[in-house]
Chain A
Amino acid sequence: MNNTLAFVSVGLMAGGIFLAFLRLLVGKTGPDRAVALDTITLISTNLLVFIALFEERSMLMDVAIVYSVLSFLGVLALARYLDGGLR
């Protein structure tokens, strides 16, 4: 629960989100962007859990669970769209 350690960890996660965001911008195809979006939501879940640990607010864990559920549903809808439209 060292302050420097939390700072370095959040910096590393921000670097990961930056790399995935680069892929989201460059893209080229639709599935590339879907994969990048999935990665960004997973790492944001990590960030929420981290804040819940270091600030000792367990309410943020609920937010993380609901966020991962919503990202799962969103990615399934995107994949259904790639599969040939929503039928």
Chain B
Amino acid sequence: MTPELNEFLAITDTVTQERIDTYAELSTDFNPLHVDPEAAAASEFGGIIAHGPIALHAFFRAMTGWLGVDALPAGSTVSVAYRAPTRPDDEVTCELREMTEIEPGKFELSAECLTQDGTVVVSVRATVTVPEAA
């Protein structure tokens, strides 16, 4: 069965300092820009920014939710362009822009992750083969 376009839900993630700290612990990336408010305030960013992949997280959740899987199926590809940093209290929403079935069961799609003020923080192009059971 082929998932429907309208089943690709717009997922929203809230960026919080707690989640940034968790990501730092999981990834061992304790760059002061992410975890040290004073150092971050003195940087060109003027304050804490989240790890880049945190801005991508809503896309991953949207994809796995759409497909009803834990892992992206073998053969999937994801290409990400990071456009702008995210910060604590940002609401990051992933929205599907375009999807084309390039061969039976295989889709090419583009999506964007935006903050609450409409800033595009991540642009994504992906290909995915829908699993049989989806």
Specify whether A and B are partners: no
